């Protein structure tokens, strides 16, 4: 039986209750850092230093000067490379002091919008710029209060932003800088018509920053319409996982998947692990079985209400949960420090999602491991992943596991199965809730 979509939690506004800005103004010292050398002012360099950052990442070094000049940018970078700071820092520098709503950042998911809003809050800590967020699944109260009070920077998901625009709670007529982030994910989730409506409400004379991992024809059309002579900023091969991630396929018959999962967890010295499932029901089922085995588990998917989603994510970040079981809602962009392992309990249907999933580990120059369970039904998708990345992925077996024999362990049979199943994959299934 299909569950109802979670209702709006009207009593919940935002996971953060304390203000990030200091209660008493701070005298910002004169700064001389690698970030000021890129053209950023002392308040930004001081905030960045307070957050523990010393050296700009390659995409930051490349993008910050370009954004500061005011031109349009179309950018892509491997996950975990510091993309948010690459556009947030120069935007704050360009805005200067408090005024009208002049910067809009569109994100595909609530979690990404919250993450980006928090980053802007921290970077703008020693300025008078005001930052807020509008997103679905929660009440309108705080969002309307913030909009009425006046903000400079707004992070938003498309649906809730359109609600506020239709109700007259805000206007985009003064937006100078528009950021379209994870645009290919917005395409996958069916948000492109909403994005077009929102872009159409912004002034034509603006700076647009467009970030996407891939550029299919639909997005090329959107980019050519929304951007004006953009500079391309590209770091790393989009089709490859970061070099800090070691990854392998683990062939197994479907009936033994959970047994193999338990063995992998018992034999792995993990700090924290994300387990990706293809469906919401599958994620719930795996989480329940792991909890029964003594693991502390959080669950993240679109059938959970916003309070539950935030509680799961925060619990995982703080170590209250050692395992996070999730659908692809958690695959894109989420910056969770210290994820030591990713396990694909189900092979993703889309090859690019594999790179994004395993990119949750091995971030910020740390190393990580990713295990993917491959059943006979997954052979075609596994081959697609290898073709997408242009490399073969090592197949591994665990000594002592009582494998049931299947064609998965026969290279000739595998090749025949893959050839028989090699049919073009339609993108029509995309847009489903995760």
Query: CA-CA distance, 191 to 189, in Å (whole number)?
Result: 6
> What are the Cα distances from residue 318, in Å, to 152, 176, 314?
31, 37, 6
Tokens of 412: 């000739």
Instruction: State residue 250 phi and psi, 5-degree precision.
Output: -120, 95
**What single string gives the DSSP state of each residue in 49-88?**
HHTT--S--HHHHHHHHHHHTT--EEEEE-TTS-HHHHHH
pLDDT of residue 3: 40
Write out residues in the chain with pLDDT < 50, as ranges: 1-5, 417-418, 420-434
Which percentage of the chain shows pLDDT scores above 90?
57
User: Tokens for 172?
Assistant: 């985009």
Q: Give alpha helix (H) positions in 167-292.
A: 183-188, 192-200, 217-226, 257-267, 280-292
Structural contact between residues 340 and 271, judged by C-beta atoms closer than 8 angstroms: yes
**Please, what is the end-to-end C-alpha distance for the chain in angstroms?**
17
93 and 109 in contact (C-beta within 8 Å)? no
Burial of 325 from C-beta contacts in 10 A (0-12 / 13-18 / 19+) = buried
Longest distance between any two alpha carbons in the chain, whole Å: 70
Domains of the chain are 36-235 (3.40.50.300), 245-421 (3.40.50.300)
C-beta separation of 246 from 400 below 8 A: no
- 29, burial (CB in 10 Å: exposed 0-12, middle 13-18, buried 19+): exposed
- pLDDT at position 320: 93
**Contacts (Cβ under 8 Å, ≥6 apart) of 289:** 258
Q: What is the pLDDT of residue 79?
A: 60
Give the pLDDT score at 284: 95
Threshold 0.75, pTM exceeds: no
CB contact at 8 A, 361 and 368: yes
């Amino acid at each position: 039986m299909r569950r109802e979509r979670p209702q709006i939690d009207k009593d919940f506004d935002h996971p953060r209750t304390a203000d990030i800005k200091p209660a008493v103004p701070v005298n910002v010292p004169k700064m001389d850092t690698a970030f000021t050398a890129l053209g950023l002012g002392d308040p930004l360099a001081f905030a960045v230093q307070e957050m523990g950052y010393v050296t700009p990442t390659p995409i930051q070094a490349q993008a910050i000067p370009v954004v500061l000049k005011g031109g349009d940018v179309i950018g892509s970078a491997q996950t975990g490379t510091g993309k948010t700071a690459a556009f947030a820092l120069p935007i704050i520098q360009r805005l200067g002091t408090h005024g009208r709503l002049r910067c809009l950042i569109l994100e595909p998911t609530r979690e990404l919008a919250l993450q980006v809003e928090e980053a802007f809050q921290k970077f703008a800590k020693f300025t008078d710029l005001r930052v807020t967020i509008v997103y679905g699944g929660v009440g309108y109260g705080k969002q309307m209060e913030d909009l009425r009070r006046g903000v400079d920077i707004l992070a938003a998901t498309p649906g809730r932003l359109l609600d506020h625009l239709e109700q007259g709670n805000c206007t985009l007529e003064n937006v100078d800088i528009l950021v379209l982030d994870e645009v290919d994910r917005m395409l996958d989730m069916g948000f492109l018509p909403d994005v077009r409506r929102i872009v159409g409400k912004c002034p034509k004379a603006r700076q647009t920053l467009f970030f996407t991992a891939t550029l299919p024809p639909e997005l090329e059309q959107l980019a050519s319409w929304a951007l004006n002579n953009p500079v391309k900023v590209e770091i790393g091969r989009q089709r490859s996982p970061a070099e800090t991630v070691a990854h392998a396929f683990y062939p197994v018959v479907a009936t033994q998947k959970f047994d193999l999962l338990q063995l992998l967890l018992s034999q792995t010295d993990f700090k924290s692990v994300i387990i990706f499932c293809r469906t919401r029901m599958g994620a719930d089922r795996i989480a329940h079985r792991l909890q029964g085995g003594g693991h502390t588990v959080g669950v993240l998917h679109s059938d959970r209400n916003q309070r539950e989603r935030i509680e799961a994510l925060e619990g995982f970040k703080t170590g209250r949960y050692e395992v996070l079981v999730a659908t692809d809602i958690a695959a894109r962009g989420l910056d969770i420090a210290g994820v030591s392992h990713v396990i694909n309990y189900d092979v993703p249907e889309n090859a690019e999602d594999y790179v994004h999933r395993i990119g949750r580990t091995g971030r910020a120059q740390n190393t990580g491991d990713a295990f993917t369970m491959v059943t006979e039904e997954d052979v075609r998708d596994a081959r697609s992943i290898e073709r997408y990345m242009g490399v073969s992925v090592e197949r591994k077996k665990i000594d002592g596991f009582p494998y049931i024999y299947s064609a998965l362990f026969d290279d000739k049979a595998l090749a025949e199965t893959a050839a028989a199943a090699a049919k073009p994959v339609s993108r029509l299934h995309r847009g489903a809730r995760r």
